[in-house]
């Protein structure tokens, strides 16, 4: 009886923890956002994206970050102000699911606007949206294949 109760409590805890994932935990669990997680930590944005939200994050994969020359990426990771600007340029306030995406300008939490196009697939500036609607407790992630840089 005691073992059954402990097993039930443990499995209930695992179910709760599996359901309770914010944007950061969801991205880390996906395994293809290691560079993004490193960048969020370097910029001090982890707590922000673990916050209440909701947020829509256009998340560049590790392959997207690999398109940036290593020296440039290393410099970006060391420049907290510029890194923060780049990362917050990938985040929109509110939860926008793929079915709700419309072409046009979208204001980011960085303050600048992203250009969303829908002809021939969804693009955010020059980045292709390659996977949509990864739902987290505090928003949604759409995966992009290129890091977008504010002007």
pLDDT per position as a tens digit, 72-123: 999 999 999 999 999 999 999 999 999 999 999 999 999 999 999 999 899 9
- For residue 29, being part of any structural domain is answered with yes
Query: In the chain, what percentage of residues exceed pLDDT 90?
Result: 83
Per-residue exposure over 51-85, b if at least 16 CB sit within 10 Å of its own CB, e if not: eebbbbbbbbbeebbeebeeeebeebbeeeeebbb
Residue 111 lies in a domain: yes
Q: Per-residue pLDDT for 10 more than 50?
A: no
Strand 123-124 to strand 113-117: parallel, antiparallel, or no bridges (unpaired)?
antiparallel
Q: Count Cα neighbours of 86 within 13 Å in the Cβ-side half-sphere.
A: 24
- As a whole number, mean pLDDT of residues 28-55 equals 93
- CATH, residue 57: 2.30.180.10
In a domain, 1, yes or no: no
Examine residue 104 and state whether it is found in any structural domain, yes or no: yes
Number of domains in the chain: 1
> Which structural domain range is residue 63 located in?
21-144
Categorize the per-residue pLDDT at 19 as very low, low, confident or very high, splitting at 50, 70 and 90: low
Q: Does any domain span residue 115? A: yes
Global pTM reads 0.85
pLDDT of residue 85: 97
Per-residue pLDDT band at 49 (split at 50, 70, 90): very high
Q: Is residue 118 part of a domain?
A: yes
Residue 88: other Cβ atoms inside 10 A: 19
Strand partners, 115: 105
**pLDDT surpasses 80 at 16:** no
Question: Does 39 fall in a domain?
Answer: yes
CA atoms of 101 and 118, how far apart (whole Å) = 8
Any domain includes 121: yes
Q: 130: which residues sit within 8 A by CB, 6+ positions away?
A: 61, 143, 144, 145
| pLDDT of 9 higher than 50 | no
């Amino acid at each position: 009886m005691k073992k059954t109760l402990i097993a039930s409590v443990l499995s209930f805890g695992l179910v709760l923890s599996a359901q309770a994932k914010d944007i950061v935990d969801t991205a880390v669990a996906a395994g293809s956002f290691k560079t993004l997680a490193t960048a969020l930590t370097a910029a001090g944005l982890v707590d922000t994206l673990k916050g209440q939200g909701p947020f829509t994050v256009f998340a560049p994969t590790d392959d997207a970050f690999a398109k940036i020359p290593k020296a440039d990426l290393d410099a970006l990771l060391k420049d907290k102000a510029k890194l923060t600007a780049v990362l917050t340029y990938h985040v929109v306030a509110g939860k926008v699911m793929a079915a709700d995406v419309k072409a046009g300008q979208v204001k980011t939490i960085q303050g600048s606007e992203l250009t969303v196009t829908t002809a021939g697939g969804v693009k955010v500036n020059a980045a292709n949206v390659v996977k949509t609607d990864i739902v987290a407790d505090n928003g949604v992630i759409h995966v992009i294949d290129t890091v977008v840089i504010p002007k």
